[in-house]
Amino acid sequence: MTDTTPDTLHDDHHHKPRGIMRWVLTTNHKDIGSMYLIFSFTMFLLGGAMAMVIRAELFQPGLQLVEPNFFNQMTTVHGLIMVFGAVMPAFTGLANWMVPMMIGAPDMALPRMNNWSFWILPFAFLLLIGSLFMEGGGPNFGWTFYAPLSTTYSPDSTGLFVFALHIMGISSIMGAINVIVTITNMRAPGMTYMKMPLFVWTWLITAFLLIAVMPVLAGAATMVLTDKYFGTSFFDAAGGGDPVMFQHIFWFFGHPEVYIMILPSFGIISAIVPAFSRKRLFGYSSMVYATASIAGLSFLVWAHHMFTTGMPVFAELFFMFCTMLISVPTGVKVFNWVATMWRGSLTFEVPMLFAIAFIVLFTIGGFSGLMLAITPVDFQYHDTYFVVAHFHYVLVSGAVFSIMAAAYYWLPKWTGHMFNETLAKWHFWCSVISVNVLFFPMHFLGLAGMPRRIPDYALQFADVNAIVSIGGFAFGLSQLIFLVVVIKCARGGEPAAAKPWDGAEGLEWTVPSPAPYHTFETPPDLEEVRDGH
């Protein structure tokens, strides 16, 4: 039997391989993390370009630029790319880079599977984007692919969409298994569970969520496939099926999925806020339990997306109260971050600016979520731009801002150089202003009754939509500043110290910048690290 411990894997390639095959065959967690992050940013720009098509069409009332069918394809593929191609791979890239360094492990536990889980992703998205060029166009039924829009009325390319979704799911499950095995088996001696950084904790919980819900999505997608091509009628009432059953299955995946896209953010903010407050995180153990509570409760709230489907009143009340309950552990987190900053020695470098923006704007998204949780009121808000405003506050000024905060926080460790502070601050201020111009007015459009996913609208919404579209274009262009900052930083700049941020704590700051290709050949001694050696 061959020995495949990480140490012997390192013996296979002590020297960094060169050329294109280095990236194709690499099993190094830093290389794979970098590829995830580059792929994610590429998808972010592509998904953003689709959002620009949507906002250009909505700049004025009437049909301006694109056919309604193509508009629907843009809304669908924009959503799919941003969820499965931008946010999730970015968090997986951060996990690959940082989790082994944070727990003192030499690499991820399953390095070859790690390589495989990344390389199937680009093919999934080639299938998805390729479907747009097929006769009849790509998926046009919304990223939630409700039946019968995705079965009876869907274009011929639906098979490609389902296949792409399966590949993304396989990639996510493999990544999640890798994270769990790494964290449970490869922590440095003395690194007990309650001494792990919160980013590691949030990712461990996220990985269990992924393994629990990705097969549910695969089941829903397979039933859609057989309904469309093989004559089954899972979601067709004429054949004894039930279209509302699709929504139950989809949202049983979909709501925990929303938390999959925000829990790692909580870990990132819990690393950054103490570092720039120069204080220990307030209430560490309560943060761990709050994260676990959110994950558990996320399985009990799925039908709050379905209040208008005619559920019994008892079910509506149950899901309303469970949804409100989930705001309690979330509130604990916000309170703990604010308490950490309270009377700390704060400085406002770019990672901290993004972290503070995250806390404020994510909280706005949380409050609008509470409004949507109230069943009778949801009948008014349902499928309006109020919902669009809510989930974009959570996912753009939430998840995306936390990813940017993480990138600025760890960029010196990744590249060995400090980034251009002036340009980075330009990126922050342009982003934070434009994101509010883009999404805040949508609350009022929704309250006034403007429906989402429609390419035309009533004249009274024209002025607000013009403002929103300008905010959208400004936000999109702001991300090009981020691209410039990262490229300049990777190419050179002021050399970064091993610990470029004063208050930063953790094993990743004990190794030189840039981090060596193999981080910990022998496990670090946590007592020495704590004593400041």
Q: Which residues are catalytic?
A: 78, 107, 143, 171-172, 255, 257, 259, 270, 304-305, 330, 333, 452
Task: Look at residue 495 and give its three-state secondary structure.
Answer: strand
Residue 13's alpha-carbon distances to 17, 27, 94, 114, 517, in angstroms, are: 8, 10, 23, 16, 11
- 240 neighbors 202 (Cβ within 8 angstroms): no
The DSSP line for 95-162 is HHHHHHHHHT-SS-SSHHHHHHHHHHHHHHHHHHHHGGGSTT-S--STTTT-TTTTTTT--TTHHHHH
- 245 neighbors 232 (Cβ within 8 angstroms): no
Residue 35: other Cβ atoms inside 10 A = 21
Residue 335's alpha-carbon distances to 125, 289, 328, 493, in angstroms, are: 39, 14, 10, 37
Q: Which residue has the tokens 């761990």?
A: 288
Residue 521: other Cβ atoms inside 10 A = 10
**Does a cis peptide bond (omega within 30 degrees of 0) precede residue 351?**
no
Residue 276's alpha-carbon distances to 235, 349, 412, 454, 530, in angstroms, are: 52, 8, 15, 44, 19
- Using alpha carbons only, give the angle 376, 150, 442 rounded to the nearest 5 degrees: 45
Task: Look at residue 384 and give its three-state secondary structure.
Answer: strand
In angstroms, rounded to a whole number, what is the distance separating the alpha carbons of residues 172 and 255?
Answer: 16
- 428 neighbors 405 (Cβ within 8 angstroms): no
* Residues linked to residue 495 through DSSP beta bridges, in sequence order: 417
Helix (H) or strand (E) holding 314: helix 313-325
Q: Which residue has the tokens 């309170």?
A: 335
What's the one-letter identity of residue 371?
Answer: M
Give the distance from CA 263 to its chain's centroid: 9
Residue 360: exposure state from Cβ atoms within 10 A (0-12, 13-18, ≥19): exposed
Task: Look at residue 451 and give its three-state secondary structure.
Answer: strand
In angstroms, rounded to a whole number, what is the distance separating the alpha carbons of residues 12 and 425?
Answer: 43
230 φ, ψ (degrees, to nearest 5): -125, 15
Q: What is the largest CA-CA distance in the chain?
A: 73
